[in-house]
Amino acid sequence: MTPSDGFILYHRNLKTHHIRSKPVLFSYWMHCLESAAWKDHKVWWNNEEHLLERGSFISSASRDSDALGLSRQQIRTAQKYLARCQMITISPTNGGTLISVCNYSTWQDWKQITNQGSNQQLTSDQPTPNQQVTSGQPQQKEGKERKEGKRRKRISTDAPKYSEAFEKFWKIYPKQENKAEAFELYQQLQPDHEKELLEFAFSYGAEFSRARKQYAQKAKYILRNMDWKTWMESHQQTKREADPEPVRDIKPPATGVRSYGAYALRVRDQCKGIDTAIIKAAFEEGIDVNQLIQNHQQEAV
């Protein structure tokens, strides 16, 4: 059995991913990884032969609901959320939904992962056997100088000078680790996104506070590739869906007071014996309180 058709690769970074704290999303994401085809192959779908590409699978809300024990609405919500995070793409049809895991071949390439260590060795300061045969002392000297330069950089004790804007961001961010690396990424983003980054830090800190702080990502990870902006957009969308803005009654033009109670009290104080229905109708029509009092007093005379 080869790794491709036997099991999937699971990276430890998922432990700190923001969907880890959302059981429904995390469960559906794992379902996508487990269901995705590990190689291109042909299937019969929608009454025709279809090439199912690596990293894709065909399913439906009812089938996923039975497999995971979730409601269809939960399945659809999870699909929309993961699609907004650019983790999957969704192509619905009458015969089912085609779901593709983004960058599946990159993160599930077993050979690339297992060869990563050997590749790093080949690109290190030490020359390969072929280089030792075809090269001479100059390359060895160059390698030595490069190696000494790296050593000098590693033993440097100079602390970076953090900007005032970054210190505000860092004070709010929930997981304060690897500050120097986070600052380098922040400097690249600050000119165009300083205000947005501060808003993100407040939202992210509120989302991952107290006991949930352990699930927050390190800043050096989430500031890469604009992942912070993707999280912010998804968080705001999810919040709008969970807490829709209540429909507010649109009141008539200003009546001179803020509430009906104050409006009625003022009218009754100036117009003894006035009918309550008249006061209520005037308030709803937006008649100024002073105008109503004046009209009633003129009629009384």
> Is 15 in the same domain as 87?
yes
> Is 265 in the same domain as 177?
no
> Is 61 in the same domain as 128?
no
**Which of the four pLDDT bands, split at 50, 70 and 90, describes residue 244?**
low
Q: Please count the structural domains in the chain.
A: 4
Helical H segments across 85-158, by residue range: 104-107, 110-114, 116-122, 129-134, 137-154
Comparing 152 with 295, the larger pLDDT belongs to: 295
Say what the pLDDT of residue 113 is: 60
185 in a structural domain? yes
152 in a structural domain? no
> Is 102 in the same domain as 127?
no
Say what the pLDDT of residue 125 is: 42
Rounded CA separation 173/228 (Å) = 12
Widest CA span of the chain, in angstroms? 118
pTM of the model: 0.38
> Is 138 in the same domain as 186?
no
Rounded CA separation 140/13 (Å) = 38
Burial (CB count within 10 angstroms: exposed 0-12, middle 13-18, buried 19+), residue 244: exposed
> Is 90 in the same domain as 119?
no
Is the pLDDT assigned to residue 234 strictly greater than 50?
yes
Comparing 56 with 45, the larger pLDDT belongs to: 56
Quote the domain boundaries for residue 120.
115-146
> Is 100 in the same domain as 11?
yes
Is the pLDDT assigned to residue 197 strictly greater than 90?
yes
267-295 pLDDT tens trace: 888 888 888 888 888 888 888 888 888 88
**What is the domain-level CATH number for residue 27?**
1.10.10
251 in a structural domain? no
289 in a structural domain? yes
> Is 97 in the same domain as 120?
no
294 in a structural domain? yes
Amino acid at 228: W
154 in a structural domain? no
Amino acid at 39: K
**Over the range 197-229, which residues count as b (16 or more CB within 10 Å of their CB) and which as e?**
beebbebbbebbeeeeeebbbbbbbbbeeebbb
Residue with tokens 């970054």: 166
> Is 7 in the same domain as 101?
yes
292 in a structural domain? yes
> Is 22 in the same domain as 40?
yes
> Is 121 in the same domain as 102?
no
Q: Please state which of the ranges 55-69, 120-134, 144-158, 230-244 shows the lowest mean pLDDT.
A: 120-134
> Is 32 in the same domain as 74?
yes
254 in a structural domain? no
E strand or H helix at 34: helix 23-35
**Which of the four pLDDT bands, split at 50, 70 and 90, describes residue 258?**
confident
